[in-house]
Amino acid sequence: MAKLQKSIDKRNALVKATIELVNNNGFHATPMSKIAKMANVSPATIYLYFENKQDLVNQTYIDVKAEYTKYAFETYNESMSVSEGFEIIWKRIADFKLKECEEAMFLAQCDNTPMIDEPSRQEGIKHLQPLLDLWERGKKEGVIKPLSDYLLYAYSINPLSFLMIAQKRGAFQLDKKHIEQAYQAAWNSIKV
């Protein structure tokens, strides 16, 4: 028990260090030695928890994606109306991107580079299923436009990543008013 606990702590520390260092330097400019140092561990120890560097970053990606979607769908359930469900999910996502902005930034980098291998990318996509189901329902009920999932995602959810990154770079400050405006823009672009 104590052993297992200790192991999980180390694994978490490694994942956390990976996120932070990859955010600041990129995957290939983040040496295993630095990840080890930040996690207070020997470089060799990483290989007790992960096969190699690629495996470390793949698993980190899947972990973060799972955390992200868990948070996004936490307060949603399928008995809600489509518009109510969308609002709740959208606002949870916005919340996550602002509060856990290291994690969100890491995901953005993963989604826009060849850093993650294809199987792990596919694995990450699966987690979004509840949202796809909601859209499907919305289309059936005639509440949202009959667009491809990619268009729905591109216009309703994805812009948040851009805003979060701009904010992280200090380009501007996202406050409550912006979030509400962004939500309205998202809903306007997909509702019938």
Partner DNA sequence: ACTATAAAAATGAACGTTCATTCTTTTTTT
Partner DNA sequence: AAAAAAAGAATGAACGTTCATTTTTATAGT
Residues near its own copies (CB under 8 A) are: 23-29, 108-109, 111-115, 145, 147-148, 150-151, 153-155, 158-160, 162-163, 165-166, 171-172, 178, 181-182, 185-186, 188-190
Fill in the amino acid letter for 179: I
Nearer to its own copies, 130 or 159 (CB): 159
Work out whether 47 is an interface residue with DNA (CB under 7 A). Answer: yes
Work out whether 42 is an interface residue with DNA (CB under 7 A). Answer: yes
Nearer to its own copies, 8 or 166 (CB): 166
CA angle (122, 128, 130) in 5-degree steps: 140
CB-neighbour burial class of residue 177 (10 A; exposed 0-12, middle 13-18, buried 19+): exposed
Q: Least distance to its own copies from the beta carbon of 160, Å?
A: 8
Work out whether 140 is an interface residue with DNA (CB under 7 A). Answer: no
CA angle (51, 20, 154) in 5-degree steps: 95
- Does an H or E element contain 192, and which? none
Tokens found for residue 183: 């939500």
Q: Which does 78 bind (CB under 5 to 8 A by kind): its own copies, DNA, none?
A: none
Nearer to DNA, 36 or 144 (CB): 36
> SS3 for 89?
helix
Work out whether 2 is an interface residue with DNA (CB under 7 A). Answer: yes
Q: Least distance to DNA from the beta carbon of 91, Å?
A: 38
Q: Least distance to its own copies from the beta carbon of 7, Å?
A: 30
Query: DSSP letters of 144-179?
Result: B----HHHHHHHHTTHHHHHHHHHHTTS----HHHH
C-alpha span between 54 and 122 (Å, rounded)? 16
Q: Which residues bind DNA (CB under 7 A)?
A: 1-3, 6-7, 10, 28-33, 40-48, 52-54
